[in-house]
Amino acid sequence: MVEKRLNLKDLESKYKNDETGAPAYDPKIMLKILLLAYTRGIISSRKIERLCNENIIFKALSADSKPDFTTIAWFVRSMERNIRGLFCDILLVCKEMDLIGGTIFAVDGCKISSNASKEWSGRFSDLEKKKTKLKAVLKNVMATHKQTDIHESRNRKEKKAQCDRIKRKIDKIDSFLKTNNPKAKTRHGERQSNITDNESAKMQTSHGMIQGYNGMAIVDNKHQVICAAHATGSGQEQKLFAPLITETKENMKKIKLGSGYLRGKKVIADTGLFSEDNATFLSKERIDGYIPDQYYRKRDPRFKTKDEHKPKKERLFTKDEFLFQSNRDIFICPNGKILKYYLGQTFGNTKGRVYKALLSDCKRCLLRKKCLRSETTRQRTLYVVEKYFDRNYSEEMKRKIDSSIGRRIYSLRMGIIEPVFGNIRASKGLDRFSLRTESKVNIQWLLFGMIHNIEKVKRYGRSLSFI
């Protein structure tokens, strides 16, 4: 595959060194040992260097050239402009071997830890507080050091080393705050920055909160070939859907299937990708999309009796139980308190008005449990729809997914894409990205995608003699 099918001309131009210096390492050799190491879950350049010196398979594959870890690390970083082309070269082989069915595709993301600690994350105000605390700790350590026996050299060395560590942490935070700006605000406030890798993000996973990247992928259903992949520092997947579909179209164009290859094809995604924008995008691209909303399971007739043995929750007051006074433009709640007009809002395909109760009224209200969703909810709000836009793509998607055909098609999603992530994470051992910044992490993610597709060629493809 590497020798005959991958186009390495751009990489080879960087490694020509015929006139001065030592002979350059062959990019084909570098890529071979890199792919072989990644198939075994080895992503550390130092460990790969050791294998090239000690393991007979790596020694044979590298022609006993023994590249050091800095050369291996630089080679990975240098692939930023070429990695997508190499990925498409392997995708072309999959297409020629008829491994791409081209009827149903599944989209999802896999959240993986980054080479950065979540302890170094926070808003700028949080980082300032952390720096202040470290200064107080440093002051306390230095005061304690003066009171101890200064003649004991061992104690003096330990205290000095401790002070140096704290000073380095303070300098690290101070340097970051001076050279960076706060991240853009969302409706929940300022997004958290990370001092070590500011392009990574805190993400909620089934195993808890991590500092990492979200590896997105779109997979064909025939043999689970990855058609496009991209890693990004965002836990929210809704805005990642359209760029991934666009990238898939470009990849299909490169392997001579045409940019309109996805038209009329079925694309399945999980609840996290449901939004009005994504439903609208699929309609405009003429793609037959299936994305359920968060209440999809509750509407499933097969789950009607799922809560019959659970403790019955007390029903909350609905909007119909609030009295509207048009002359004053207010709502009166069941306890006689007033909800005043707060602001106008556009939500999905609707435009309306938001009414809010006073914090003091809700705090002392005896009917809180019947009105507010949880104890942490501060006040009751009402959203009154004034206008629906011409077409509600979200509602159309809900009706499609609620149909018997829609539910059957959506049930295919897990069997298509989850085994791919299982292969990359469990079998290949990618439990943590070793590089920093989104561009470099994306190189690693695409390399693992290439390995996955090469395995599909080996297992399901015809004889490789033609390549």
* Angstrom distance (rounded) from CA 259 to CA 110: 26
Question: Cβ contacts of residue 312 below 8 Å, gap of 6+?
Answer: none
Counting as low any pLDDT under 50, the low residues of the chain are none
Helix (H) or strand (E) holding 207: none
pLDDT at 408: 93
- Residue 427 sits at φ, ψ, to 5 deg, of -70, -40
pLDDT of residue 19: 62
Q: For position 151, what pLDDT does the model report?
A: 54
Could you give the CA distance from residue 227 to residue 105 in angstroms, rounded to a whole number? Answer: 9
Rounded Cα distance, 74 and 283, in Å: 43
Cβ atoms of 195 and 175 within 8 Å: the answer is no
Task: List the one residue out of 55, 54, 66 whose CA is nearest residue 29.
Answer: 66
Task: Tell me what pLDDT residue 451 has.
Answer: 94
User: Of 277, 203, 198, whose CA–CA distance to 236 is shortest?
Assistant: 203
